């Protein structure tokens, strides 16, 4: 791990670290959910 990255990790509290990662995980899950909703949707120029 680079020194600069160690400094960033060390300066944050464990609670903030966990909350940030949970938020990133939730955002990734939401992104995958939205992608699954658009699966098979015709997004060709003729649709608009």
pLDDT of residue 19: 95
pLDDT of residue 45: 78
pLDDT of residue 46: 72
In the numeric block, the tokens 């464990």 are attached to 14
pLDDT of residue 21: 96
3-state secondary structure of 8: helix
Tens-place pLDDT, residues 21-48: 999 999 999 999 999 988 887 777 776 6
Distance CA 35, CA 14 (A): 32
3-state secondary structure of 42: coil
């Amino acid at each position: 791990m680079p020194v600069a990255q160690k400094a960033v990790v060390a300066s944050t509290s464990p609670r903030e670290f966990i909350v940030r990662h949970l938020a990133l995980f939730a955002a990734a899950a939401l992104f995958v959910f939205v992608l699954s909703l658009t699966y098979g949707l015709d997004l060709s120029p003729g649709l608009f």
